[in-house]
Amino acid sequence: MESPRPATGDMEESMEIALPPLLHSRRVGAQPQCDHSRLRRRPCPVCGEDQPFCIRPDGLRVSQCGTCAMIYLADVPAKEEIAAYYRSYVGSKGYPQRHRLSTRELISRSKLDLYVRVLETTGGLHRQSLLEIGSAYGRFLQVCAHQGAEAAAVETDDDARRFLTELGYEASEKINDAARYDIVCALQLLEHLPDPGAMLAQAARVLKQDGRLLVSLPNGGEADKQGPTWVGFRLDFEHLNYFSLKSLGRLLGRHQLYIEQFWEHSQPSLARTIGAPPRPITLLRRLYGKALALRHQLQPGLQVPDPRQGSFVLTVLARRA
């Protein structure tokens, strides 16, 4: 049975598509186990409309708002299931574990980290009060502190929060509405929340006037270009929202947060390397790699695609009016 055509006029697919899982050789990230009989319905987190889009490999339906084209899960797990899952999320996700960065690592990351560079070039970090929401074990937080920021964290994972406290950071489970910050960072967070607008409302309350909000998340705008077979629907099944730049900007604007700059970058990490024998890095391979890089510089037409280029990740810098 045909479903209504998606709201975006350039969508060619009008059928609700059930997507196959990726090959078993590809790690697709965490897949929460939830009771489908307890799923609760929610409207579009931006404006309240609903329209079928596709079915993920975990059996949950992806919908698209008929008004603002926001793409999201209409049926989400119960609140207590979500809360229990994120109390030990960082370890189950396979993120880097407890690690106090060395001085060398801090210096290196301060030069290479995209988010640090964005903050340094849009007002700096020195003597800026910074809150990271969803900080895991605090690698980004440690670099910001090394750059002179007065850093604090909000983290629901119990072990990660304990480790941040051991490092000397103020780490809490919820946002303190009485605090005020120059910078709030929410990196790879909004896509996980049943009510992302509520979190943005809190972020707006604790941001000083003209304070910066740095957000990074999977770029749902790619689904507008590709349609319901987009690979982002086949990865990381704890994701509940798929924001495009337009739908994110609309939701931010409702909370007096206005986008000033944005970046679309990176590709999903989908190389079929699991189970493959390791290739030793020999001196000959190093020299060949350097020679190939030099050749690409001299002959730009021969350059191979850079996996860091792309549009799979959307990073946005907004300010509070």
Res. 14: pLDDT tops 50: no
Higher pLDDT, 275 or 97: 97
CB contact at 8 A, 228 and 17:
yes
Q: CA 231, CA 319: separation in Å to the nearest integer? A: 31
Domain ranges of the chain: 99-226+238-269+307-320
Res 89: pLDDT: 84
Q: CA 150, CA 181: separation in Å to the nearest integer? A: 9
- The predicted model gives 215-240 an average pLDDT of 94
Residue whose entry in the numeric block shows the structure tokens 């941001």:
207
pLDDT per residue over 128-166, tens digit each?
999 999 999 999 999 999 999 999 999 999 999 999 999
Q: CA 93, CA 68: separation in Å to the nearest integer? A: 31
pLDDT per residue over 259-294, tens digit each?
999 999 999 988 776 565 666 666 666 666 666 566
Q: Where are the alpha helices (DSSP H) in 254-311?
A: 283-298
- pTM for the model stands at 0.78
* DSSP character string of 166-192: HTT-EEESS--TT--EEEEEEES-GGG
CA 256 to chain centroid, in Å, comes to 21
Of 44-53, 198-207, 268-277, give the lowest mean pLDDT range.
Answer: 268-277
Q: Write the CB contacts of 278 (distance below 8 Å, at least 6 apart in sequence).
A: none
CB atoms within 10 A of CB 256: 15
Q: What's the CATH fold of domain 99-226+238-269+307-320? A: Rossmann fold (3.40.50)
CA 166 to chain centroid, in Å, comes to 26
